[in-house]
Amino acid sequence: MNKTVKITINGEVFEQSVPVRMLLSDFIREVASLTGTHIGCTYEGVCGACTVQVDGEAVKSCLMLASQADGHNVTTIEGLAKDGKLSPLQQAFNDHHALQCGFCTPGILMNMDEFLKVNPNPTDDEIRTGLVGNLCRCTGYAHIIDAVRDAAKRAR
Ligand code: FES
Ligand code: FES
């Protein structure tokens, strides 16, 4: 069974009839062709690579149906930089070498972008707790925590 859904992604409206069981992550990648949202754990909700923001709130897009996002605003990693300029958080990741293979990075950035809006002055422990839903197999997290801490400091 199909349903027509209309989702605004990074300011662009995508309206299409899709299977009612289509995941938001698949809508983003297959309908909107925005492949920066990664699938790392075959839709089990454990890796966080698929994290996007729905109405500003970080969500794992493999745990949400596209039909549940009908009428909502989604931001993906492609929407984080503005006018070709990295967001302050992206710049901090770049400056602190907070990524290696980069597979986890879009999801971590979308999660931490919301995290810093809610908690603009986090302790390292709070950053670690905020990252609990994002798996990174490369970095050991130390540089990621440095980058998030520095991004928060730059924003103050
Ligand atoms: S692909 Fe969504 S949490 Fe891993
Ligand atoms: S940088 Fe490779 S998984 Fe995080």
Q: Which of 99, 111, 134 to mutate to test ligand 2, by most ligand atoms within 8 A of the CB atom? A: 99
Q: What percent of the chain has pLDDT over 90?
A: 97
Minimum-distance ligand 1 atom for the alpha carbon of 47: 4
Q: What is the pLDDT of residue 42?
A: 82
pLDDT band at 41 (very low <50, low <70, confident <90, very high): very high
Q: Looking at the CA of 108, which ligand is closest?
A: 2
Residue 46 CB–ligand 1 contact under 6 Å = yes
The pLDDT tens digits for 50-109 are 999 999 999 999 999 999 999 999 999 999 999 999 999 999 999 999 999 999 999 999
Instruction: Report the nearest atom of ligand 1 relative to the CA of 61.
Output: 2
Q: Which domains are present in the chain?
A: 2-79 (3.10.20.30), 88-155 (1.10.150.120)
Cβ of 100 less than 6 Å from ligand 2: yes
Q: What's the chain look like in SS3? A: CEEEEEEEECCEEEEEEEECCCEHHHHHHHHCCCCCCCCCCCCCCCCCCCEEEECCEEEEHHHCEHHHHCCCEEECHHHCCECCECCHHHHHHHHCCCCCCCCCHHHHHHHHHHHHHHCCCCCHHHHHHHCCCCCCCCCCCHHHHHHHHHHHHHHC
Whether 43 shows a pLDDT value over 90: the answer reads: no
Is 106 touching ligand 1 by the criterion CB < 6 Å?
A: no
Q: Is the model's pLDDT at 156 over the cut of 90?
A: no
What value does the mean pLDDT of the chain take?
A: 97
pTM as predicted: 0.97
Q: Report the pLDDT value the prediction gives residue 52, as an integer from 0 to 100.
A: 98
